[in-house]
A and B are shown apart, each in its own frame.
Chain A
């Protein structure tokens, strides 16, 4: 592969979920980036993005909290901040939006220099745009043998469109292309962006069991053997709460719900431990059985870059 002149050092903003519930998302993201020759530099002294409480209380507070992390990345001389969590991503993009909308107010609240020359992207966008499906296909060592995997994007990765500026907001295809590149068969999955119930899992659980149930049901009807996700909250609702959904629906799904980074990692030849597969509640064993034997011909991007 021809070497491309691109900056391969990327500021990494894990966010709180990836330190706890979604530890495997953190582990697989780091491992995949390493394997693809992308150097992640964790933002030093990063802080909470503010999440739902901050922006419900005051949008400027939310922008300043998220903006501090962007400013730290800019101070470190980096131009791209990547976060796997769509909630954090929305907060980071919201900060950049606020800076454009109300530069003075934002600067006052932030209280430190910030030019706003950094971009915020998700790990999905990084894989889809910085690496691209073609390069990924070449780097694959153990392709999935047409394992049918439904791509589930959730509500925030591509929306609101004015914020996200990535992919089609209602019918995104970036994850579809990545799944195809690593050998999965991607069925037409109409509920790609349907709501999983989000944080209602805690406060009004029946809403989540119903909404998540619809998504799992559609995945089964579309013929999927697993669901690929890119959001810690979606993963939690679809995987951890799957038993609750099954109880409410009176049926069994047993559908593995796997982070896109875990699937890419496995296809790149990483071990199940390296991508934290043991952390999943619904066993992904059936999926691993679908992996091809290691291919000798695959290039390694890290050597080429």
Chain B
């Protein structure tokens, strides 16, 4: 074999602590290497051109590039060698940036390590064989998980393009957090007025199948061909029959059920439609609040229902959907302020969270849109907002900025002043973060036109004094401690990952960060892709986001799916397991360890049983390879010979 080695300087990223010229020079001593050089940016157009020229000029049969992690540029270089006529698998990459230059300062040691990594790559390449992908058809249906504004946008964009869409929503209605908001910053649009039509569109599109009050149970398969099991949770109401007339809610005797949609500020009935604009507008019985389920007597809703939709014996049901791509848009949850014992949320009724205040402001909220405080229903004269509750605070393991709180406080203060012109609003803040379009102008308006008083400093304690609350904090601009008396205190609780996010990530085989937010494929350049092919992200499941950013990502993820579905087939990865039938002893160990069910029996003409790999299902994990007693199963491109050759090179 005639091998060429290309050592990348990556500007100073690699050349700063690795002598790339020496690495290239040393490579010429390795067996089969006939050409070696270093270059400033091997991934650039001229860099790739140089590889292609060398292939022609030196009649190269294999190429090693010593550069960065293969995650980003292995596909780039594979394409480059393919253009020059080589098989794309006659290429190896040695990672001398992330594994060498970025992690060590010792130039001599780094250079030595880079040489060894190149030598390993050369030894592996000497044993590489050309591999060829096969094509499998793509199932052009898409699953969207989560029916908040990001998921709705993704589902509508896909549906508009003619795709079949399956939308799964955990709650009883789609709409997500946005459905609970009164107005939106910085335009003070009514949230339900702009979201409502989109929700209705979802219900009316023929090609969107909505599974509300349902959860994803399991996901199997691969890009182009996923099989998803969905659990439709029992609602005890037949949604095909229910017309959403609401008669059951009028008659239900369990009227003291905590209203979760109104953030526990009000009560509702055990059989409930969560809010007037709910999609689907169907009733559900909350079992632990229902008189029939807790005492065995009642059945009022069943008697009153004009369509006979109530069935107390309903059980969870499983449906299976086959799709070719998945968009994850599971959103976020709000920080529970309980760890801040000094703020007294939960102990004092007039210390509430931002989303609770949002419900108070809302015309469909617990007080009909009149700004009152929860304890005694009085109109507040002074309201204090506390920023960064569960944001930018290491002590509660939330060191990140939630990004939306500065804006929603400004909005809520403006709205409070609109509702009650005499009310005084105070905001305790750390920094004002308002980098969006028209955002800072909006905050300035709160301060300058609405007279909201901004106090820069943290709040240390909130305690009652008579029927008012005392907010004790620091004014770091004055360098003084301040106390503000208030009738109502609003804690601007931050954004955290959605409940159950990690469990769903395991099912989808996507990764998440230490806070449970899903990891995008590249933080700048692949923001809606994951490292699992065919699975895309949209909205706050990836990190805190406001509405415009979530909507943009919903559309972006839809565009990615449309690009994928623009083709009819997809090339499968040939780096999968293969069986050497003459060596297979038919023990079946590989069948039992394969996590994907990719191995089955095959009977030969002589009647003997051999293992057989379904190449489209195999994910190339290598478990069978490690388990096989006679080593009859080999993972292509990672055979025992290849790996042992690398080790020999390292130990030589």
Contact = CB atoms under 8 A, between A and B. Distances in A.
A190 B464 contact: yes
A190 B341 contact: no
Interface string A154-185: 00000001000000111110000000000000
A221 B470 CA distance: 14
B638 interface: no
A169 B341 contact: yes
A152 B109 CA distance: 60
A190 B463 contact: yes
Interface in B492-533: none
A190 B395 CA distance: 21
Contacts of B395: 161
A29 B341 CA distance: 29
A188 B344 CA distance: 11
Interface string A217-234: 000010000000000000
Interface string B462-498: 0111000010000000000000000000000000000
A168 B464 contact: no
Interface in A95-138: none
Nearest to B338: A168
A171 B464 contact: no
Interface in A170-210: 170-172, 188, 190-191, 193-194
A168 B464 CA distance: 19
A170 B464 contact: no
Contacts of B589: none
Contacts of B342: 170-171, 193
B461 interface: yes
B340 interface: yes
A188 B464 contact: yes
Which of A171, A172, A193, A221 is most buried by chain B, counting CB atoms within 10 A of its CB? A171
B340 A170 contact: yes
B458 to A, nearest CB: 12
Q: Would you call the interface of chain A mostly helix, strand, loop, or mixed?
A: loop
Contacts of B470: 190
B341 A168 contact: yes
Nearest to B470: A190
A95 to B, nearest CB: 23
B341 A171 contact: yes
Contacts of B340: 170
Contacts of A161: 395
Nearest to B342: A170
A186 to B, nearest CB: 13
A259 B571 CA distance: 76
A33 to B, nearest CB: 29
B304 to A, nearest CB: 45
Contacts of A221: 465
Interface string B337-355: 0001110100100000000
A157 to B, nearest CB: 13
A159 B106 CA distance: 43
A188 B465 CA distance: 11
B336 to A, nearest CB: 14
A170 B341 contact: yes
A172 B340 CA distance: 11
Which residue of B463, B464, B465, B470 has the most chain A CB atoms within 10 A of its CB atom?
B463
Contacts of A168: 341
B485 to A, nearest CB: 13
Contacts of B347: 171, 188
B30 to A, nearest CB: 44
Contacts of B464: 188, 190
A191 B460 CA distance: 11
Residue among A190, A191, A221 with max Cβ neighbours from chain B (10 Å)? A190
A200 B395 CA distance: 28
B461 to A, nearest CB: 7
Contacts of B461: 170, 190, 194
B335 to A, nearest CB: 16
Nearest to A169: B341
A191 B483 CA distance: 14
A90 B20 CA distance: 54
Nearest to B348: A188
A91 to B, nearest CB: 22
A168 B344 CA distance: 12
A170 B344 CA distance: 10
A193 B344 CA distance: 14
A161 B340 CA distance: 12
A169 B395 CA distance: 11
Nearest to B461: A190
A161 B339 CA distance: 11
B338 to A, nearest CB: 9
Nearest to B465: A221
A170 B340 CA distance: 7
A221 B466 CA distance: 9
A194 B344 CA distance: 15
Interface in B338-394: 340-342, 344, 347
Nearest to A189: B463
Q: Which of B341, B461, B465 has the most CB of A within 10 A?
A: B341
A180 to B, nearest CB: 16
Contacts of A191: 463
A221 B341 CA distance: 21
A191 to B, nearest CB: 8
Nearest to B339: A168
Interface in A16-31: none
Nearest to B462: A190
Interface in A278-304: none
B10 to A, nearest CB: 37
Contacts of A171: 341-342, 344, 347
Interface of B: 340-342, 344, 347, 395, 461, 463-465, 470
16 contacts: A161-B395, A168-B341, A169-B341, A170-B340, A170-B342, A170-B461, A171-B341, A171-B342, A171-B344, A188-B347, A188-B464, A190-B461, A190-B463, A190-B470, A194-B461, A221-B465
Task: Across the A-B interface, give the 6 residue pairs with the lowest CB-CB distance, nearest first.
Answer: A171-B341, A190-B463, A170-B342, A170-B341, A168-B341, A171-B342
Given A188-B464, A190-B344, A194-B461, 11 more contacts: A161-B395, A168-B341, A169-B341, A170-B340, A170-B341, A170-B342, A171-B341, A171-B342, A171-B347, A188-B347, A193-B342
